[in-house]
Amino acid sequence: MEQVLKGKVAIITGASQGLGLEIAKQYLAAGASVAICARNKGLLEIAEGQLRSLVGAGQRVVARGADVSKIDDVEKLVGFARSEFGHIDILVNNAGVYGPKGVIEDVDWQEWARTIDINLYGSILMCRAVLPTFKARRGGKIIQLSGGGATNPLPRLSAYAVSKAAIVRFVETLAEEVREDGIDVNAIAPGALNTRLLDEVLAAGPGKVGGSFYERALRQKQSGGTPLEKGAALAVFLGSSRSNGITGKLISAAWDPWVSLPEHLDDLASSDIYTLRRIVPKDRGKKWGNDQ
């Protein structure tokens, strides 16, 4: 892989397995050093060992157990990365959970709220922690993992859907707050991945997640889903200087022509392309409901 991240330092959350681990691997291949975290320290140690076997000259991998929903853990993680590397250039917010499965009146409320804590508040806490460093350096990249929950209703997975929609709007808002600081903030929809989250859906069964969603999950399991490499490759692009000026967007790794987006910076900057917006009747060719 071309060394588009050579000399850069990235914090990658939820990097002990699945997409987070794949992103860490591709960041190393692109020349970056990485600080990874996860709640499961056993899996984190295994991942750290795998990643250290991939480091090249001038690169390092460090790991620290952390729960991103806890402000003390977040501050210690960012402080640890700064002390190890001296600077931070990129934050990849990958840590996330599906949360409880079932209709809203039946799911465990503490589990529902815990999903918001991890997926939404945890991502925001990480952003808050790195922003002073980024602003002092007059630049930085924040990459937020989102997904289908941000753009489609997900009955029986309401905590996941709500948290993902909310974090995309936070990405859009934060991008405007830090635009003049040279910081780009974007979200990634990585596609339908065959990870532990899919296994959770299949284990829960149609009674919890609904028949149609369960059948779709079965088909995804059989087909192999979207390769992890696609989302990781987009994360590399958004962490590199090639994406400079692209900010406040939700980009699909599987469907959007993200490699060519630098050719369309003016269109992206002056429009609501790749953002969450309300649809009105005229957007669908209807004449009713429009201003007279």
Distant-in-sequence, close-in-space partners of 9: CB < 8 Å, separation ≥ 6: 32, 33, 34, 35, 81, 85, 87, 88, 89, 90
Amino acid found at 244: N
Instruction: Look at residues 90, 9, 73 and name the one whose alpha carbon lies nearest to residue 39.
Output: 73
Q: Catalytic: 160? A: yes
Q: List the beta strands (DSSP E) in the chain.
A: 9-12, 33-38, 61-65, 90-93, 140-145, 183-189, 250-252
Element at 203 (helix H, strand E): helix 196-204
Tell me the Ramachandran region of residue 147: left when phi exceeds 0, alpha when psi lies from -120 to 50, beta otherwise. left
Amino acid found at 96: G
Residues 27, 98, 121, 160: which is the catalytic one? 160
Write out the catalytic residue numbers. 160
